[in-house]
């Protein structure tokens, strides 16, 4: 989606147009030291007796992930098939 608020350029020698924003180097220097998160991360990882970190889904970015059901997979397949040219190319449906 192009916006008229920014400049528009053609991408290389294609028909694709895209907005561009020119950002000038401001010469900023970040003075803060890097944060050492090792202690914080250790609190998020459970450890077994032999010290191996165990993955805990409830504490990860995947905590809200749901597995696909057969019904959902069937709907995705039917939608994908509908958007392809395969049905038009198949003459014998059997």
Q: What backbone torsions phi and psi does residue 7 show, to the nearest 5 degrees?
A: -65, 150
Looking up tokens 């003075």 gives 31
pTM for the whole thing? 0.33
- Rg (alpha carbons) of the chain, rounded to whole number: 26
Q: What pLDDT score was predicted for residue 73?
A: 93
Query: pLDDT truncated to tens, each residue of the chain (94 aa)?
Result: 788 888 888 888 888 999 988 888 877 777 776 777 777 676 666 565 566 667 778 888 888 988 889 999 999 999 998 888 887 788 776 7
Q: What is the DSSP secondary-structure string of 23-82?
A: ---------SPPP--HHHHHHHSEE-TT--EE--GGGSTTTT--PPPHHHHHHHHHHHHH
Question: How confident is the model at residue 75, as a pLDDT?
Answer: 94
């Amino acid at each position: 989606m192009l916006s008229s608020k920014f400049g528009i350029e053609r991408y290389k020698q294609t028909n694709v147009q895209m907005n561009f924003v020119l950002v000038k180097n401001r010469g900023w220097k970040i003075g803060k030291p890097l944060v050492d998160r090792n202690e914080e991360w250790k609190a998020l990882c459970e450890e077994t007796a032999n010290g191996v970190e165990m993955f805990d889904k409830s504490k990860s970015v995947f905590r809200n992930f749901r597995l696909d059901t057969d019904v959902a997979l069937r709907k995705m397949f039917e939608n994908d098939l509908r958007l392809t040219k395969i049905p038009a190319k198949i003459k014998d449906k059997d």
